[in-house]
């Protein structure tokens, strides 16, 4: 019996222990920089025990629905004002756990080299969601193109325009379609993560935001998960010098690390 126990002990020492399986984390992202950055984060996350599975969505609405319903564990595609608006409108129990990157919003044109060249009565496409549309209107006000109602905050709408001396016709379209609309309008306000795949860089914008502002993008998870160890590991995997270097090398000034 003693010999059998000794043999069993020796076998236990010589057989390598099985590694713990990686924790699956399905994370939603829009195509382009968000998804590309997560691909760079993926091998770092694996070292921290996470199997990062990147799920791409072509719009801004479904990733939060999928997260709230449990089809995802996290998402990385939106800035904080957009998340706040989604929570207020839809009651999602979702929270941000880290900032990621900032995409400067710009107004681009295929027809005009400057905004001064946009004619009176010209057409301008902006995103149709309250936060990104509002962001575009605030940019226009900041540059003296329009005037908004005083104290309107971060989510003005077209109805809040009180001064439009150039009589611009402002058309609201889905954010994902703003770049495509350039063939049909004089100019369009395009989020950075859609401008880049469309072949634009910030220097191409005929109007652009100042670099500082409240529009840093975030990693979001369900409230019930925010204190889980895998969330901490995910954030630590993203906010690394390696990720920052990848962002700077790949995107230059188009995408700015926010941590």
Q: Assign domain 23-103+215-257 to its CATH architecture.
A: 3-Layer(aba) Sandwich (3.40)
- The three-state secondary structure class of 131 is helix
196 or 230, which is more confident = 230
Provide the residue ranges of all domains of the chain, joining segments of one domain with +: 23-103+215-257, 106-208
Tell me, what's the pLDDT at 21? Answer: 84
- Residue 191 phi/psi, 5-degree rounding, is -65, 150
Q: 23-103+215-257 and 106-208: same fold?
A: yes
Measure Cα distances from 158 to 20, 134, 171, 251 in Å: 54, 8, 9, 32
Rounded to an integer, the average pLDDT of 146-154 is 94
Query: pLDDT tens digits for 75-125?
Result: 999 999 999 999 999 999 999 999 999 888 999 999 999 999 999 999 999
pLDDT of residue 6: 52
Structure tokens at 249: 């090398």
> Tell me, what's the pLDDT at 3?
47
Q: What is the per-residue pLDDT across 18-27, written as a single tens digit (0 to 9) for each?
A: 556 899 999 9
* Cα–Cα nearest to 123, from 111, 138, 105: 111
CA distance 170 to 157: 11
The per-residue pLDDT for 193 is 81
- Count of residues for the chain? 259
DSSP 16: P
Cα 94 from Cα 29, distance rounded (Å): 15
Quick: pLDDT tens for 36-70: 999 999 999 999 999 999 999 998 899 999 999 99
Q: Quote the pLDDT of residue 160.
A: 97
CA–CA distance from 75 to each of 60, 83, 118, 189 (Å)? 11, 11, 37, 24
Q: What percent of the chain has pLDDT over 70?
A: 92
Q: What is the pLDDT of residue 4?
A: 46
Share of the chain above pLDDT 90, in %: 78
Residue 11 has pLDDT above 60, yes or no: no
Q: DSSP strand E in the chain: where?
A: 23-29, 50-56, 74-79, 94-99, 101-102, 106-108, 123-127, 147-148, 161-163, 169-173, 187-190, 207-208, 217-222, 256-257
Rounded Cα distance between 178 and 172, Å, is: 9
Q: Are 46 and 22 in contact (CB under 8 A)?
A: yes
pLDDT of 204 strictly over 70: yes
Q: Of 224, 201, 225, 119, whose CA–CA distance to 168 is shortest?
A: 119
Q: Which CATH class is domain 106-208?
A: alpha beta
Mean of the per-residue pLDDT values for the chain? Answer: 91
């Amino acid at each position: 019996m003693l010999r059998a126990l000794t043999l069993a002990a020796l076998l236990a020492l010589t057989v390598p222990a099985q590694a713990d399986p990686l924790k699956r984390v399905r994370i939603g992202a829009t195509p382009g920089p968000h998804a590309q950055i997560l691909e760079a984060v993926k091998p770092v996350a694996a070292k921290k025990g996470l199997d990062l599975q990147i799920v791409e969505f072509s719009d801004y609405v479904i990733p939060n629905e999928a997260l709230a319903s449990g089809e995802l564990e996290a998402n990385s595609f939106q800035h904080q004002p957009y998340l706040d608006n989604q929570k207020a409108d839809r009651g999602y129990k979702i929270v941000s756990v880290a900032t990621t990157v900032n995409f400067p919003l710009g107004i681009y044109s295929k027809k005009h080299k400057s905004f001064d060249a946009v004619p009176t009565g010209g057409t301008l496409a902006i995103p149709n969601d309250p936060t990104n549309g509002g962001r575009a209107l605030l940019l226009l006000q900041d540059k003296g193109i329009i005037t908004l109602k005083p104290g309107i905050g971060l989510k003005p709408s077209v109805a809040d325009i009180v001064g439009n001396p150039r009589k611009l016709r402002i058309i609201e379209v889905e954010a994902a379609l703003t770049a495509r609309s350039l063939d049909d309008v004089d100019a369009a306000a395009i989020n950075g993560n859609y401008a880049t795949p469309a072949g634009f860089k910030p220097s191409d914008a005929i109007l652009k935001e100042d670099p500082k502002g409240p529009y840093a993008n975030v990693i979001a998870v369900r409230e019930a998960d925010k204190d889980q160890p895998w969330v901490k590991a995910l954030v630590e995997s993203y906010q690394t010098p390696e990720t920052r270097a990848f962002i700077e090398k790949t995107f230059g000034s188009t995408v700015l690390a926010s941590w």
